[in-house]
Amino acid sequence: MRILKTAVLVAMSLLTGSGFAAGDDSKLVVVLDASNSMWGQIEGHHKIETARASLANLLETQAEQANITLLTYGSQRKSDCSDIKLASGSPAEILQQVADIKPKGRSPISAAITQAATAGHRILLISDGQESCGNDPCATTRELKARYPDLQIHVAGFPGDPDPQLQCIADNTDGKLVLASDTAALGALLSSPSPGSAEAGNNPPSATDTPGKLELTLGAGDDPANLQGSFLIYDANDEHINSFTARTEVSHTLLPGKYRVDVLWRQFKLSATLTVSPDQTTTYRFNMGGMGKLRLDAKDTAQQPVNVNFTLYTQESEYLSDHLLKSSINEQLPAGVYRIRADYGNQTQDATIEVTASSEVQYTFVFNPAN
């Protein structure tokens, strides 16, 4: 919870500053997912609680005259794809609205960001999932970007694998889907100028410097296939240079020198210090080591499948992922020991399971439906 709370707070504070004038294209519009899936838990806390606490901390620090626009979807009715609520006001007024939010309904993401774009062209979407109202956010954002060239939507997601729809929203609008586990990268990203501003863009190398190139990939053991990771590049002074989110490979031109590169795969992080030479390509492949497969099933005492909530942790109890209302899941994980929690109604079971490289381990939770 602390990771996501800090990440959203950093994003919001850097974007809002001391407030924007009405009608300013740089005005921040926060789009908050209040659909039923936001009751999912991370580290024992509901996602909506984490998002609400982060927004509350931000709004309490804003000047009273600041004008912030908040758009929520899914907060009022269970099965209504028109359930979108827009509010603008002082931090205190918005804070009260945030405190009262109770997730209920569906996820009309396309309709929500379309409405948000009419209120401002710099948008922060806080969401954990997919469109559930039959529209295509990828197509919607392409159309919106053509209509509003300066539109930029950054997405603050939750720990776990990034949803392809959320990635597409960011990609189509020159935004980023930022992993909440790296607050430094999030802050650097959201404090940068918007694409249409005069300050946007990278400074070109000087005529006396011949740039080189970094080519980066992430793999597992001897498997030649690339894993999808997020690559974060820092200079010799530990200043953040660039981020590449949810990529299978990265090719990036840099001035000669030493750089630190972090790669994030889910909640796992690898680091390396690499040297870029003039007019040379430095190739580096990060390796997660051997990986294995984990299959989890949930059944009742009659051996019939039941839907439960699975939550996966490392042996050190660091959150990895959750799977809501599933009777069976399959995970690919680095070799190691993991703690699994399964919740069925008011029943909770825990298991410690070792995953070994190039093999599959299976575990079944058995619940008594009479309890």
Distance CA 49, CA 69 (A): 20
DSSP 312-323: EEETT--EEEEE
Q: pLDDT digit of tens for each residue in the chain (371 aa)?
A: 444 454 454 455 445 443 333 334 456 788 999 998 888 877 777 888 877 777 776 666 566 666 778 999 998 888 889 999 988 877 778 778 888 888 888 999 999 999 999 888 888 888 887 888 988 999 999 999 999 999 999 887 776 655 678 888 988 998 877 654 444 444 444 445 555 554 444 444 444 468 899 999 999 999 999 999 888 899 888 888 777 877 899 998 888 999 999 998 877 889 999 999 998 999 999 999 999 999 999 999 999 999 999 999 998 888 888 888 999 999 999 999 999 999 999 999 999 999 999 999 999 999 998 87
3-class secondary-structure state, position 365:
strand
Q: Which of 180, 186, 182, 177 lies closest to 13, judged by CA?
A: 186
Considering the entire predicted model, what is its pTM?
A: 0.54
Structure tokens at 214: 């970094």
Cα–Cα dist 161/245, whole Å = 11
| DSSP structure class, residue 359 | -
Pairing of strands 177-178, 152-156: parallel
Do residues 28 and 194 touch, judged by C-beta distance below 8 A? no
Q: What is the pLDDT of residue 347?
A: 95
Angle ∠(156,157,160) on CA atoms, nearest 5: 155
The Cα 72–Cα 16 span in angstroms is 18
Chain centroid to CA 191: 17
Single out the residue of 103, 96, 24, 6 nearest to residue 67, CA to CA.
Answer: 24
Burial of 85 (0-12, 13-18, 19+ CB in 10 A): middle
DSSP secondary structure string, 313-354?
EETT--EEEEEEEESEEEEEEESEEEEEEEEETTEEEEEEEE
The residues near 277 (Cβ < 8 Å, ≥ 6 apart) are 212, 256
User: What distances in angstroms separate CA 213 from CA 126, 174, 251, 345, one per listed residue?
Assistant: 34, 23, 7, 53
Position 24 scores a pLDDT of: 44
What's the CA gap between 223 and 88, in Å, rounded? 51
Q: Domains (ranges, CATH) in the chain?
A: 2-190 (3.40.50.410), 212-287 (2.60.40.10), 291-367 (2.60.40.10)
The pLDDT value recorded for residue 190 is 45
Rounded distance, CA 107 to CA 127, Å?
9
HSE-CB of 252 using CA atoms within 13 angstroms: 22
Pairwise CA distance, residues 89 & 83, whole Å: 20
Q: Report the pLDDT value the prediction gives residue 29, as an integer from 0 to 100.
A: 86
CA–CA separation, 269 vs 263, rounded Å?
Answer: 6
Close Cβ partners of 255 (under 8 Å, ≥ 6 residues apart): 205, 209, 211, 212, 276
Our CA dihedral for 224, 230, 234, 238, rounded to 10 degrees, sits at -120
Q: What pLDDT, on the 0 to 100 scale, is given for residue 186?
A: 43
pLDDT at 205: 42
